[in-house]
Structure formats: C-alpha cells, structure tokens
Amino acid sequence: MNVAVAPAAGYPRWRQRLSPWSVGAAAMISVLLVPIAVVALSMLGRSSPTWQHICDTVLTTYLWNTALLVAGVGACTLVIGVSCAWLVTFYRFPGRAVLSWALVLPFAIPTYIAAYCYADLQDLVGVDMMNLPGAILVVSLVLYPYVYLITCSTLQGQSGRILESSQSLGRGAAYSFWRLGFPIARPAIVGGMTLVTMEVLNEYGAVHYYGVDTFTTGIFKVWYGMDDTQGAMRLAATLMMLVLALLLLERLQRGRKQFTTCGSDYRPCMPGQLRGSVSWLAAGWCTLPVLLGFLFPVGQLLIWLKQSGASSFGAGFAKIAGQSFVLASCAALTTVIVAVILAYTVRLHRSRLITALSKASALGYSMPGAVIAIGVMVTVVAADRGVLRHVAGFFGAKPGLILTSSIVVLLFAYVLRYLTVAVNPIEAGFERLCGSMDEASRALGHSPLKTLLQVNLPLAKSTLIAAALLVFVDVLKELPLTLILRPTNFETLATKTFELAGEEMIAQSAIGALLIVATGIVPILILDRLLCSKRPT
C-alpha cells in the first residue's frame, strides 16, 4: 500500500520532489547533521597511540559488558513495557486507572539518582546491587516507560474491531494480542526499544558508578584520562556506525509491512474485566515497576531530604524549577515540530533521501552527551564567527560569541539529541493512519499543510503527546549537554542536583532530584488527562 499522494497529472516529478516540504526538511536536517559530521570526520584522522592502547588492554571487556547491558536492559524493558501496556489497555483490574499513568513515572527519575538510591538499598537488605545485574535492573526500571508509553499510545490507537473480530471467531485474548495486537504495534515497540538501546549505549554515570565499564567508559577514558579528544571522538564515531547498523536492521525488520486502520468504523476496543486472583495478579504485576522504579527511589530521596533539610538548594529553587520547566517545554515543542515536518515529508514524498537523513539524525542520540556537545560547540562557534564578522564589520564593535553564550545553543543541542525520541513515535503514529484520508483531503483541494493540520495531526494526537512528553522529561533530566553548553550563571534542576550528587553529597542533592520528579509529573498528569479521552474505562 502506498500512502503517498500520487502526483497530479502533468505535474513534473521533480517539481513535486522540490516541494517546500522536502526542501525545508532537507535544510533542517542538514543543519542538525553538522555537529554529527564534526564527530564523524574525526574518523578520517590517523589513529592515535591511546586508541592502540585501549584495543590492547580493555576494549574486549568494554564491548562484552556493553553487549550484555544492551541485551539485558532490552529484554527487561521489552517484557515490562509491553506486558503492562497490554494489561492496562485491554483489561480492567483493580488500580488500573492509577497504574495506567503511574507506570510512566519512573521515567522522571534520572538514572544516576536511581543508581545512588539502589546503592544504599544494599545496606538495608544486604543484596549487592553494584554489579552488572544490578545495573541492568536499575537502568531497565527507569527506561521501560519508553516502551510502555509508545506501546500504549499505539495499542490505544488500534481499532477495537480487529481484536474483537478475532475473539468472536473463537480466539482467546492472549492469542489475539500475540497474532494481531503485537504485530500491529511492532514498529512502535521496536522504535521504543531502539531508543532504550541508544540510551543504554550513551549511559555513563550509573553504570560507571556500579563498576561496569562499557564502550562509553572507553570514550571518556581516552578523553579525560589520556587527554585525547580526537581519539574519544573517533571512538564515539565508531559507536555511531554501530547504531547506524542497528537502525538499518530496524528498518529491515519493519520491511514493507504496513498496518493501517481504514474505514469509518474506528472505535477503541472495550477492555475486558479480569476477575478473581487473575485481576490481582495483573494489578500486582503492574504495581511492581512503579514500586521499584518510582516509589522506592522517591522514598529514599524523601529520607535523605528529611536528614539534610531543604536548605542545601538555597532560596532560588523556585526560579530554577520554573526555568527548567520553560526550557524543557520549549525544547519539547521545537523538537516535536521538527519531527512532524520530517515525518510528514516522508509520508508525502516517500523520498529515500529524506528518510535516510531523518534516520541519520538519530545518531545524535546514540553518542555520549559530552561528545555531541563538542560537535555542537564547534558548529555554533563557527556560525558565531560567521555572524560576528558581519556584525563587527557593521558596527565596528567586538560583540563576543553571541550564539554560544545564549540559550539558542542549548535548544539546538536538545533538538539534535532528542529528535529521534520524537520522530520514532510520530513516524509510527503516521504509519498507522490510512493513506486514503490524505488522498480524500487532497482531492477536496486542501493543501498538504491543511491536510496535515486538519487530518493527520488530530488523528495522531496521542502519539504527538507521547513524543512531547518523552522529550520534555528527557530534557528536564539531561545533564552533559546542559552542563557544557549552558550560558554562565544558568542553572537547571539537573545541573543543580548533579553539583551536589557528583560531589558525594547525595543527601543534600535529594531536594533537587525530588523537584525534577515533581516537575516531570506535572505534564505526565496533564497529558494523561488528554490521552484518557481515548481510553475507555
């Protein structure tokens, strides 16, 4: 099935290719790819002695750990995310209304904070958490909401008729889900898993603290330990190639299969009532991730807060919280707009070039933040110098690095980093939309823009919201980019929290971590209200 609108008769193909959409999308992506190119180009240089040293000594261990971590976290997030999304969407059981949004909450907890909380758990229960299995557990508990949220919004978008038909034909609920619900949601689930994998690949703080060295450890070892930035960037570029292969695989598995809901009889499926012990089992299963991923860390943070008091954060916390909220909102909005333009251009033109470019933008997410920050800074400083020369010539003044010292650079970096977080669910959301609706709208004389605004966006609302939420919370807890690229005197909740936690003042950092969580909950709750309109109770 081809969703693209056929070119109007007599309209030359190149004209269609060169529509404002494709040109705009290509231009946007090109700008975003510059920092990635800066890192990729480092591969051209000669290999350094430190690289040789890493190969000779520790690389095998790092690669092995990375593989185990990715596989472990991938399996855990898949099981937790999909099973909870399935239960919450298709069944009624005690606590379901609360659990449906509470399951997203662990996402608001920065990974390294969860790691600190669980490190203290071992004092209580005597289980050593600071090892590879512990790292897998902790990272999975804060990352599964990626899979959960995306799967949920996809399953809720499915027409209930499909599963009901299957069930009325005598198939059980589990069989129907496995043969119909799951395959339809598969692109979205794999999209979520891709995000988790990339997040794991660039994860540094928590796993390093737990004594697990991954490929990212190698990158920082070369940079910080051996003062070889070029070598570190080359390692990051290697990691990028790995991710590129991963993305191609994802593309292949998606293949040519398309699942869309056509026709006017769309209506959400009615969840079935679970009874007796099964319903309590479902409730227990869905409570577990919330308990371990959210309630326990928050409880630990509250204990620390009680010990240290709120004074460590100073009086400015309200301002910092507000600032973080606005920054994360702006970043989420910008990222989603860019993602929509990209996804819609792909839908409009099926252009391989744009598809490839939009996939390439995902690379910004796979690199450690500190490395991508170098690429961003090189780009922005060069742009600054370009602007600088003209402005200075005009005013005869020396204005300094204007862009570099403004908030603009942070927004640019966030879009670059989190674009794929938004593009993935939005593309999957668009793919589920029936192409004939676009065609009908276009046939009625609406422009592509009007079709997007009046047909596609309203239909894909829940995925847009999910995408915006993911980016918002991600930016809220983002650390390395913000630390390196921020203007002077600029603090976010994440930087303020890290300042203390990084200096081993864990208890004093609790107030900051709790504020991150609190600020993250606000949009989760608001957006849940919006999403709920679609979820029958």
Partner 1 sequence: MFPMRNLLFICISLVLFGCSKPSATPAAEITVYTHRHYPADQALFDAFSRESGITVNVLKAKADELIKRLEIEGAESAADVLITVDAGRLVRAKEKGLLQAVQSDTISERIPAAMQDPDSQWFALTKRARVLVYAKDRVDVATLSSYESLMDEQWRGRILVRSSQNIYNQSLLASITHHHGGEAAEAWAKAVVANMARTPKGNDRDQIRAVAAGKGDLAIVNTYYLGLLLNADDPADQALAGHMGVFFPNQGDRGTHINVSGIGVTAHAPNREGAIKLIEFLARKDSQEVFAQSNYEYPVNPQAQAGELLQSWGEFKSDTVPLTLLGELNTEAAQTFDRAGWR
Is residue 309 within the footprint of partner 1 (CB under 8 A)?
Answer: yes
The minimum distance between CB 504 and partner 1, in angstroms, equals: 5
Site residues for partner 1, 213-252, by CB under 8 A, read 213, 217, 220-221, 223-227, 229
Is residue 378 within the footprint of partner 1 (CB under 8 A)?
Answer: yes
Q: How far is CA 148 from CA 92, 113, 269, 285, 523, in A?
A: 17, 21, 18, 14, 17
The minimum distance between CB 234 and partner 1, in angstroms, equals: 15
In the structure encoding, which two tokens stand for residue 117, read together? 């909380």
Q: What are phi and psi of 3, to 5 degrees?
A: -85, -20
Residue 97's contacts (CB-CB under 8 Å, 6 or more residues apart) are 537
- Whose Cβ is closer to partner 1: residue 123's or residue 265's? 123
Number of helical H runs and strand E runs in the chain: 27, 2
Q: Which amino acid is at 479?
A: L
CB 482 within 8 A of CB 495: yes
Site residues for partner 1, 244-303, by CB under 8 A, read none
**What three-state secondary structure class fits 256?**
coil
In the structure encoding, which two tokens stand for residue 317, read together? 């916390």
Task: Write out the E strands in 77-172.
Answer: 91-92
CA-wise closest residue to 36 among 320, 417, 401, 350:
417
# of chain residues touching partner 1 (CB under 8 A): 70
- Residues 59-78: x/- map of binding to partner 1 (CB under 8 A)? --------------------
Site residues for partner 1, 395-424, by CB under 8 A, read 399-408
Is residue 201 within the footprint of partner 1 (CB under 8 A)?
Answer: no
Is residue 48 within the footprint of partner 1 (CB under 8 A)?
Answer: no
- Whose Cβ is closer to partner 1: residue 4's or residue 310's? 310
- Whose Cβ is closer to partner 1: residue 295's or residue 408's? 408
The minimum distance between CB 179 and partner 1, in angstroms, equals: 45
Where does this chain touch partner 1 (CB under 8 A) — which range of 96-104, 144-152, 351-359, 391-399? Answer: 391-399
**What three-state secondary structure class fits 442?**
helix
- Whose Cβ is closer to partner 1: residue 132's or residue 457's? 132
Task: Choose, by CB under 8 A, the member of 3, 25, 40, 54 that binds partner 1.
Answer: 54
- Rounded-to-integer distance, Cα 268 and Cα 283, Å: 22
The minimum distance between CB 309 and partner 1, in angstroms, equals: 8
Alpha-helix residue ranges (DSSP H) falling in 203-295: 205-209, 215-220, 229-254, 276-290
In the structure encoding, which two tokens stand for residue 124, read together? 């209580």
User: What one-character-per-residue DSSP string does 346-375 give?
Assistant: HHHH--HHHHHHHHHTTHHHHS-HHHHHHH
The minimum distance between CB 323 and partner 1, in angstroms, equals: 13
- Whose Cβ is closer to partner 1: residue 133's or residue 314's? 314
- Rounded-to-integer distance, Cα 131 and Cα 142, Å: 17
The minimum distance between CB 411 and partner 1, in angstroms, equals: 11
- Whose Cβ is closer to partner 1: residue 19's or residue 48's? 48
Is residue 172 within the footprint of partner 1 (CB under 8 A)?
Answer: no
The H-or-E segment that residue 401 falls in is: none
Could you identify the residue written with the tokens 């371990």?
Answer: 292
- Residues 129-158: x/- map of binding to partner 1 (CB under 8 A)? -xx---------------------------
The minimum distance between CB 447 and partner 1, in angstroms, equals: 27
Q: Which amino acid is at 30?
A: S
Q: How far is CA 536 from CA 97, 269, 272, 457, in A?
A: 10, 8, 11, 21
Is residue 34 within the footprint of partner 1 (CB under 8 A)?
Answer: no
In the structure encoding, which two tokens stand for residue 490, read together? 């600029």
- Whose Cβ is closer to partner 1: residue 321's or residue 409's? 409
Is residue 495 within the footprint of partner 1 (CB under 8 A)?
Answer: yes
Could you identify the residue written with the tokens 């529509």?
Answer: 19
- Rounded-to-integer distance, Cα 421 and Cα 342, Å: 13
The minimum distance between CB 313 and partner 1, in angstroms, equals: 10
Where does this chain touch partner 1 (CB under 8 A) — which range of 77-85, 148-156, 160-168, 207-215? Answer: 207-215
- Whose Cβ is closer to partner 1: residue 272's or residue 487's? 487
Q: Which residues pair with 91 in a beta bridge?
A: 272
Is residue 374 within the footprint of partner 1 (CB under 8 A)?
Answer: yes
Residues of this chain that interact with partner 1 (CB under 8 A) are 50, 53-54, 57-58, 119, 123, 130-131, 208-211, 213, 217, 220-221, 223-227, 229, 304, 307-309, 312, 314, 370, 373-374, 377-378, 381, 384-385, 387-388, 390-391, 394, 399-408, 480, 483-484, 486-489, 495, 498-500, 502-508
